[in-house]
Structure 1
């Protein structure tokens, strides 16, 4: 299963996608907490579902940030900066089934920077990488950016534009990670404060904060979620559940099967089907 591990450590960097788009955005008001109601519960369940999926995709990809996620108190932070370069350099044979990988990487005792480019890089198992990753780092912080990196897994394409900013204090590394995804309803959700555990076999546990562009901010908590449905609804969840909360009020979505899900709020449950 080496090809899966390769894809996973390339995916987690997307935790920090900057969802601002173009322009200064200076006139855009800060989002407020969502007001949960039976009229918007389906919208919010979609926001929760799409955001959980993006969180899992993102958390699976961050090989550079994850390689420095724990600081050994007996090592200088500078050695961790060097590890960023090392991790990138170990990718030079990743395109085992075709395509190419190129990098320009420089580093010293206290700094590191580089650009990694994947061109039709087939790492096996139907996984193809296309796009660039850049990073810069010093003794106190580093930044990693994905620029239109696409990851094709068994004909399903995920596009990642991400920025992760990490800093160190007392040899403890903290990363500020945010991401965004355009959902099946055409709306773009911003996701932050992400925590992901689990795997594709037993299901994933996800916690995150989500900004729904229509309704506002919610927090989500997913349990045993599997996004493993196949044609014609690739990437939809087959099982598991998610709760979404705002202002002390909580709703839930349960994934009954690949075709349908149940949303419950204020004791009212409604069954929906995914569009094909």
Structure 2
């Protein structure tokens, strides 16, 4: 079984979990990568790539052989987005019971909006939503949203527990959706999470391809709380199976400000090597 860190935590014992309340508050400027900070940033990529792979279906790129509560959330996210868009109509009340529109298989959903109906919260209580495969997704917790009527965009912050086919995940992520009033609606993912070192990171602009057999190729932007953001790409596919939530093999390329860069080689489940300016240093977890 693939051992992966869930989106803000999980319902199984495989891998670490993080709290639903995890929020990134660190540096947002582009990082200058050097020998003094490369180890910290590399440690973040170890957790960040796993977070990206777990969230691959949310970004709509990779093909996972098994559906998860998190992957099913993205199937219903556009539906939720378009229901929120309907709340922006002039006749919409400030508090709306949207149970009939959203929770087609039971439970309740209530939306509270501001006076302009441009932002608010939908609170889900055992809200059951059927999927196209005959399963049922159950959501509990709040989803905060901000709607831009001019740009036709929506930001949704999920801090919910999602259950699907007997598995449960605590989801802490942001979905940004565009063209929400049309059939061409699309959503992209960013996620805040606690890494293996206990620091809180953010990932966005996530792209994942591959599978558990051949390995995964991940590209993303990683925000390190102390050093800032770097672009991450995969030069050799990442494989998983370690007791810790880290890759067991694979190589990443990190790109920072002023054309600074580093490579991270995951040598085994026990350690990794970081190379900056041609000098490599090995570390253990």
Q: TM-score, normalised by structure 1?
A: 0.61
Distance in 2, Cα, partners of 1:33 & 1:219: 9
Candidates 44, 66, 79, aligned match of 1:47: 44
How far the C-alpha of 1:158 sits from its partner, in A, is 6.6
Distance in 2, Cα, partners of 1:211 & 1:225: 20
How far the C-alpha of 1:270 sits from its partner, in A, is 1.2
Q: TM-score, normalised by structure 2?
A: 0.59
Deviation by residue 1:76-99 (Cα, 9 ceiling, x = unmatched)? x979x99xx99x768x6xxxxxxx
Structure 2 CA distance for partners of 1:137 and 1:31, relative to 1, 3 Å: closer
Count of residue pairs brought into register by the alignment: 218
Deviation by residue 1:206-249 (Cα, 9 ceiling, x = unmatched)? 1111111111110111342123213xx3x221111211111222
Match of 1:197? 209
Structure 2 CA distance for partners of 1:66 and 1:131, relative to 1, 3 Å: closer
Match of 2:273? 262
Structure 2 CA distance for partners of 1:136 and 1:215, relative to 1, 3 Å: closer
- 1:99-110 to 2 correspondences below 5 Å: 103-104=107-108
Gapped regions of structure 1 (runs ≥ 5): 2-6, 12-16, 22-27, 70-76, 93-101, 107-112, 120-128
- 1:151-162 to 2 correspondences below 5 Å: 159-162=170-173
Higher RCO (Cα < 8 Å, 6 or more apart): 2
Deviation by residue 1:149-183 (Cα, 9 ceiling, x = unmatched)? 388xxx9x974312313121774333242111211
Match of 2:223? 211
Distance in 2, Cα, partners of 1:67 & 1:251: 38
Structure 2 CA distance for partners of 1:150 and 1:57, relative to 1, 3 Å: same
Distance in 1, Cα, partners of 2:228 & 2:146: 34
**Cα RMSD (Å) of the superposition?**
4.5
- 1:173-192 to 2 correspondences below 5 Å: 173-192=185-204
Match of 2:63? none
Structure 2 CA distance for partners of 1:137 and 1:187, relative to 1, 3 Å: closer
- 1:67-106 to 2 correspondences below 5 Å: 103-104=107-108
Candidates 256, 268, 271, aligned match of 1:246: 256
Distance in 2, Cα, partners of 1:37 & 1:137: 38
